Amino acid sequence: MTSDGKFVLVIGRDGQVARSLEEILSASGYHVVQIGRPEADLRNPALVSKAILASRPDFIVNAAAYTAVDQAEDEPETAFAINAAGAQAAAEAASNVSAPIIHFSTDYVFDGAKRAPYVETDTVSPLGVYGHSKLIGESLVAEANPKHIILRTAWVFSPFGSNFVKTMLRLNRERPEINVVDDQQGSPTYAPDLAATVCRIIDRLHTFPPNPEHFGTFHATNGGKTSWYGFARAIVDGAAQRGAPHAIVHPIPTSDYPTKARRPAYSVLSNEKLSYVYDIKLRPWSDALSEALDRLFSVPHGEKTATSATRL
């Protein structure tokens, strides 16, 4: 615990959310330290605990995870080690230094049978290994540290790392026509908006004593919903407005694009609890996409600018 209470330890270095957190928390006056592989590999819980106990942060954000949804079907042990046991170790160590932990989970904890936005208390029933490993991680984090905030998010994109927006921009450059699945609906979510959400939550916890309602599971996605096809159309249209080629995007059913892992047909998340408890409402995904495209078209490959965050 530091005297000003503004030391945030982020687990994860080069992931989309980790990099966004580094930018936003540092700019908001927090002292940010990032840890990650190899010295804090989530597959080795003892290393993660050691790093947390040694640094004694005021807040811990776990932005690291095994996120390869299809690959997880072939590597369940690794997915569970990182997303369940690794997350548990981080939450336990956070509890040992009396720090709240902010952890991320996924819309893929749901099976997609619903046709109205999922609320936090809806029945979970993941269709694949990734969703299952994240769900077990949620329970273990919650059990290990009463001061937990689990943010379930979805369809994350950013100027950083690998994501659907960057894949579509590449395909748009390489091909005249692109086929994209149109029968899965969700809410694309901009990693910097998610990081800003985390920052506001930490601001709140830092400024006033929290109530029990400030902890628990919350849904946090950008507003609005679309299909992967609708998202791809918006990306290609936005790229063309910025001088790129304009591929034709065709809608296809999931059955024409088989993947190892099954995905929910509908995974829109209601953000009402986040709005009610924290007064946070993320902007529509289309506005966030516009900002992401501006960044991607102005800075080669979305490379990051200077930052004051410490990298261990």
x/- map, 290-309, ligand NAP, by CB under 6 A: --------------------
Stretch that binds ligand NAP, among 21-29, 91-99, 154-162, 293-301 (CB under 6 A): 154-162
Query: Judged by CB under 6 A, which of 13, 166, 219, 263 binds ligand NAP?
Result: 13
Compute the distance between CA of residue 192 and CA of residue 288 in angstroms, rounded to an integer: 9
Query: Based on CB atoms, which residue is closest to ligand NAP, 65 or 236?
Result: 65
Residue 99 to residue 51: CA distance in whole angstroms? 14
Nearest-approach distance from CB 134 to ligand NAP, in angstroms? 6
User: If binding is defined by CB under 6 A, does position 59 make contact with ligand NAP?
Assistant: no
Q: Which is nearer to ligand NAP, 141 or 171 (CB)?
A: 141
Q: Which region, judged by CB under 6 A, interacts with ligand NAP, from 14-22, 249-257, 271-279, 281-289?
A: 14-22
Distance of alpha carbon 1 from alpha carbon 198, whole angstroms = 19
Select which of 130, 190, 229, 266 is catalytic.
130
- Determine if 88 is a binding residue for ligand NAP (CB under 6 A): no
Our finding on whether 36 is near ligand NAP (CB under 6 A) is yes
> Is 37 an interacting residue with respect to ligand NAP (CB under 6 A)?
yes
* 32, 51, 65, 84: residue in contact with ligand NAP (rule CB under 6 A): 65
Report the site for ligand NAP in 106-145 (rule: CB under 6 A): 106, 134
Residue 154 binds to ligand NAP (criterion: CB under 6 A): yes
Residue 200 sits in the site that holds ligand NAP (CB under 6 A): no
- Judged by CB under 6 A, the stretch of 37-45, 111-119, 238-246, 284-292 that binds ligand NAP is 37-45
Query: From the list 5, 76, 117, 161, which residue makes contact with ligand NAP (rule: CB under 6 A)?
Result: 161
30 is catalytic: no
Q: Which is nearer to ligand NAP, 90 or 99 (CB)?
A: 90
* Catalytic site positions: 130
